[in-house]
Structure 1
Amino acid sequence: MKNFEVEYIKNGKRQKMFLRANDRVAAQNIAKKKNSGVIVKVGETQTVSLGEQLGDFKDRVSRLLGLSSKIKIPSLVASVRQLSVMTNAGISIHDSIKEVTNSSEDKRLKEIFSVMNDDLNSGLSLTESVSKFRNDFGDIVVAMINLGESTGNMAEALSKLAMMLQEVWDNQQKFKKAMRYPITIMCALAIAFLVLMLYVVPKFREIFEELGANLPLPTRILLGIESALSNYGFYILVGFLALIFGLKHAYKTSDEFKKGWDKYILKVYLFGKIIFFSTMSRFTLIFTELVRAGIPIADALDTAVKMVDNEVLKTKLSSVKIAVQQGVSLTDAFRNTGIFESMLIQMISAGEQSGSLDAMLKNVADYYKMKFNEIIDNISSYVEPILLLFMAAMVLLLALGIFMPMWDLGSAVKS
């Protein structure tokens, strides 16, 4: 974006304001919305207001930390639904976008819709305008907008788009909920263990040192852990945080590391199932809805695959599109990935042969959604055995480490 200086007259006084926009027309439109004065002059400038400087600094820091502002899916869903309702009521898409620009509370979304409004004023189609923000909206939005324009039924396309985005959001929230429970419990156990190591075990260390006797193995392990935490706790914490940061950095920058990690995580107990069924539920949902909306299978596959984060699954699902383009049937293409159950392959095959592929794909999507929800609803039954194992190991170590020397002392006194 460029910097613009706007001169305007308000209450008989000549004033200036600085703002950022893509071009002079967009700057003039933004200035009109920000004040009720008469605009005299709009010109490009290198001068930037303090507010804009602070905003730029904040954006740079956010990007550096990987926290760059993104459109929130709930805000996007609300805006798309509003557009759907307004266009269905006969309001032009131009006026609908103008209204959404004014009503949206999401800063990034408001900026994008403002630019789209200017694009429509300058003669661009809605698809051409939305395509400029593919990184913000995602391919699914571009595909559905293009479908709406090509079929002439924008309201229905927007309605289906809102439904798909809502499903994706619900999927993400359920995934976070599923991961939150075991992680919270494990953190609580770790904190409890640290408290015992740092505040309880040192009291017994003094008693054991006074005894001066040979300590059993569990006690030596316990005291060794306590000594390491007491003397090197800060360095262990720094090393742990550095390891996490390094892994995150490697995951974002190294394709080999990302693929290796994604392959490993799919094999981890519980986490692998959650990630697999969450990913497959999202992929089949998007693919099914795009096919039902009339988008060609190859294009629908291409868009749906871009919603997949796990590199291993993405590679296998990407091969489906290549196979279909080479003339392989969808059934064989899915079968060759090795990740679809035989029952699902039979359903897809029946759909292809009977001409009801979209209905069968809907059943496949419903199956993965059911499996994903089943894991989330019963996650406690999956986690409890692991938690009991950790708790038993912790209690056993503490009990043996503390009480075995006392038993030895009691035996020595009796003898």
Structure 2
Amino acid sequence: MRHHKARGKSRSREKTQLYRWRWTGKNGKGENVDGEIVAVQRGEVERELAKQGIIVKSIRRKSSLFGGTGRIKPRDVMLFSRQMSTMIRAGVPVLQAFNVVTESLKNPAMRNLVQKLADDVAAGASFSDALRQHPRHFDRLFANMIEAGEQSGSLDRMLERVALYKEKVESLKARVRKALYYPAAVIAVGIGVTALLLIKVVPQFESLFQGFGAELPAMTRMTIAFSEFAQAYWLPGLLALVATIVAIQQGARRSPGFAYRLHKLALRLPVIGDILDKSAVARFSRTLATTFAAGVPLVESLETASGSTGSRVYERAVLRIRDDVSNGQQLHFAMRSTGLFPSLAVQMVGIGEEAGSMDTMLNKVADYYEEEVDNKVDALTSLLEPFIIVVLGVLVGGLVVSMYLPIFELGNAI
């Protein structure tokens, strides 16, 4: 039986494998036209073009969609959810909706993934089971909500909720990335410019100063000493920096304990730590609200929410909350006992539990802390801009002044 099913699935894959076809021809007015169509066989392309009244000159297969390359981004998953929701709400069967959505997607890797989902569903799997075969792109929240939608007959609504959830979470991630990357990028540029001056520009002045025959100012001597050090050790220093970054990344990936300590340290950083903290609370609240509103049991919702916080510290705390709730504790009491969650979030969850509207309150908590993150990021950017300008001005300006001091002194002596 298993071999029979496997052969059936294999035949289904061969039958539904899609290709991109490039065609040229003439329309009813005699004008030259061309384009691309995604289809299984050449005959389908010919029939489609004939319907449009196009006289075909040539049809050429470009590439298999299974051979497509590219990286699947969260935005691709969000777009897929919205399109599937629209199709199903319009009454299109799930399998046919997959085929329509596949043709509309631009990312070849996403087309490949959606076609695999369609093949699994065609072979008899449910939508949620097909999603669970690809946990890298469709997390537990996605699969759980689709399963709840299948059971309740509201698949289109669940897909729309998933798309909205992904949109809000990605927006929050973008704000946090802005807070982290902006100062790092500016500081890196400043260090790069300074290194370039020390390694390439200062040595030119040094050879010029050797013919002066007079003692150089202390500031100039110090700059030259820095330049000699940079020329001698810039390559080992760069390699050591790259090795340190790679070691930290690999350590965080392979050792949960190291990753936990790293995330705990990040939460203690001034300003940045506060942004990461509020971001974790917002993501936890949004995920829990979304899954709980979909009818997923609270304990399972908490397990899903633990992996969505973006922080190992909060992940461990949420798993502890899950254990406490499964033992009969109220959610807000378990949240307070971790010592991590702000009192406002705990109080609002408590009110939601008492009023029977926990998903509404959790969404309000998420909205509040997302706005807080937004405000903090804007404030950080506003504060950093003048600070970075001053630091770079002093750094680069100091180097320039130290190089021109001997020339000024020589001019005064003449």
Q: TM-score range by the shorter chain?
A: 0.7 to 0.9
Matched, 1:24 2:30: no
AA of the residue aligned to 1:327: G
* Aligned pairs, number: 368
Superposed CA offset, 1:117-139 (max 9, x none): 23333322222222222232111
Deviation, structure 1 residue 384: 3.4
Superposed CA offset, 1:54-83 (max 9, x none): 96xx98xxxxxxxxx652222222221111
Deviation, structure 1 residue 281: 2.1
1:139–1:306 CA contact under 8 A, matched in 2: no
Aligned twin of 2:287:
286
Aligned twin of 1:303:
304
2:9–2:123 CA contact under 8 A, matched in 1: no
Deviation, structure 1 residue 371: 0.7
- CA distance in 2 between counterparts of 1:329 and 1:191 reads 53
1:277–1:372 CA contact under 8 A, matched in 2: yes
Secondary structure of the residue aligned to 1:23 is: helix
Aligned twin of 1:330:
331
**TM-score, structure 2 length as denominator?**
0.78
Deviation, structure 1 residue 341: 1.7
Aligned twin of 2:175:
174
Deviation, structure 1 residue 305: 1.5
Aligned twin of 1:184:
185
Aligned twin of 1:277:
278
Deviation, structure 1 residue 347: 1.7
- CA distance in 2 between counterparts of 1:349 and 1:392 reads 51
Secondary structure of the residue aligned to 1:178 is: helix
- CA distance in 2 between counterparts of 1:197 and 1:378 reads 34
Deviation, structure 1 residue 395: 5.7
Deviation, structure 1 residue 146: 0.6
- CA distance in 2 between counterparts of 1:224 and 1:346 reads 60
- CA distance in 1 between counterparts of 2:152 and 2:135 reads 21
Superposed CA offset, 1:217-267 (max 9, x none): x54542222002223323322332233223222222232332222222222
Tell me which moved more, 106-115 or 323-332.
106-115
Q: 1:35 aligns with which of 26, 33, 41?
A: 41
Aligned twin of 2:56:
none
Deviation, structure 1 residue 176: 2.7
Tell me which moved more, 104-113 or 131-140.
104-113
- CA distance in 1 between counterparts of 2:392 and 2:85 reads 53
Call closer, same or farther: CA 1:336–1:382 in 2, change over 3 Å. Answer: farther
Residues 392-403 of structure 1 aligned to structure 2 (within 5 Å): 394=395, 398=399
Residues 314-393 of structure 1 aligned to structure 2 (within 5 Å): 314-384=315-385, 386-387=387-388, 390-391=391-392
Unaligned runs of 5+ in 1: 1-20, 39-50, 60-68
- CA distance in 1 between counterparts of 2:194 and 2:302 reads 48
AA of the residue aligned to 2:381: S
Residues 10-409 of structure 1 aligned to structure 2 (within 5 Å): 23-30=10-17, 33-36=39-42, 70-206=71-207, 210-211=212-213, 213=215, 216=218, 218-384=219-385, 386-387=387-388, 390-391=391-392, 394=395, 398=399
Deviation, structure 1 residue 405: 7.3
- CA distance in 2 between counterparts of 1:212 and 1:364 reads 69
- CA distance in 1 between counterparts of 2:314 and 2:390 reads 31
Call closer, same or farther: CA 1:323–1:393 in 2, change over 3 Å. Answer: farther
- CA distance in 1 between counterparts of 2:110 and 2:411 reads 73
Superposed CA offset, 1:160-183 (max 9, x none): 111111112222223333333212
Deviation, structure 1 residue 214: 8.2
1:331–1:349 CA contact under 8 A, matched in 2: yes
- CA distance in 2 between counterparts of 1:393 and 1:264 reads 30
Tell me which moved more, 338-347 or 239-248.
239-248
Call closer, same or farther: CA 1:322–1:409 in 2, change over 3 Å. Answer: farther
Call closer, same or farther: CA 1:264–1:393 in 2, change over 3 Å. Answer: farther
1:222–1:397 CA contact under 8 A, matched in 2: no
Secondary structure of the residue aligned to 2:137 is: helix
Call closer, same or farther: CA 1:71–1:392 in 2, change over 3 Å. Answer: closer
Runs of 4+ in 1 over 3 A off after TM superposition: 31-34, 203-216, 218-221, 395-411
AA of the residue aligned to 2:242: L
- CA distance in 1 between counterparts of 2:179 and 2:278 reads 12
Unaligned runs of 5+ in 2: 1-7, 20-38, 45-62
Tell me which moved more, 101-110 or 391-400.
391-400
Tell me which moved more, 233-242 or 26-35.
26-35
Deviation, structure 1 residue 105: 2.3
Cα RMSD of the aligned pairs, angstroms, is 3.3
AA of the residue aligned to 2:99: K
- CA distance in 2 between counterparts of 1:363 and 1:136 reads 27
2:12–2:122 CA contact under 8 A, matched in 1: no
- CA distance in 1 between counterparts of 2:15 and 2:94 reads 22
Deviation, structure 1 residue 383: 1.4
Tell me which moved more, 325-334 or 218-227.
218-227
Deviation, structure 1 residue 208: 5.7
Call closer, same or farther: CA 1:200–1:36 in 2, change over 3 Å. Answer: closer
**TM-score, structure 1 length as denominator?**
0.77
Tell me which moved more, 323-332 or 123-132.
123-132
Q: Percent identity?
A: 25
Deviation, structure 1 residue 331: 0.8
Call closer, same or farther: CA 1:100–1:387 in 2, change over 3 Å. Answer: same
